[in-house]
Amino acid sequence: MFQEEFLRMKDLANRPDSKGLIGVSSQTLWRWIQQNRFPSPVKIGSNISVFRMSEVQAWMKAQG
């Protein structure tokens, strides 16, 4: 059975102590989401949004 994997913003965006998977700030990622330049998150709680790993990987592949 297929089980989808998810990533949180802290995994994708740069933080003061580590570089994220995408390598940009969370502000940049949110701006890209608003501009439809990055996959939209899935809301799984009132304060929790996650990103489908498959969509992030497809986006990364498309970037070259």
| β-strand partners of 49 | 43
Whether 43 is in a domain gets the answer yes
For the stretch 9-32, what's the b/e string if a residue is b when 16 or more beta carbons lie within 10 angstroms of its beta carbon?
bebbbbeeeeebebeeeeeebeee
Task: Please report whether residue 37 resides in a domain.
Answer: yes
**Does 41 or 64 have the greater pLDDT score?**
41
Q: In this predicted structure, what is the pLDDT of residue 1?
A: 66
At 64, the pLDDT band (50, 70, 90 cuts) reads confident
Q: Kindly report the pTM of this predicted structure.
A: 0.87
7 within some domain: no
> Which domain range does residue 49 map to?
12-63
Asked whether residue 54 is assigned to any structural domain, the reply reads: yes
- For residue 38 the two structure tokens come to 């990055």
SS3 56: helix
| 2 within some domain | no
In a domain, 1, yes or no: no
Instruction: Give residue-wise pLDDT tens across range 1-60.
Output: 678 999 999 999 999 999 999 999 999 999 999 999 999 999 999 999 999 999 999 999
Q: Does residue 19 belong to any structural domain of this protein?
A: yes
pLDDT of residue 24: 96
Is 36 inside any structural domain? Answer: yes
Provide the number of structural domains found in the chain: 1
Determine phi and psi for 15, rounding to 5 degrees: -130, 165
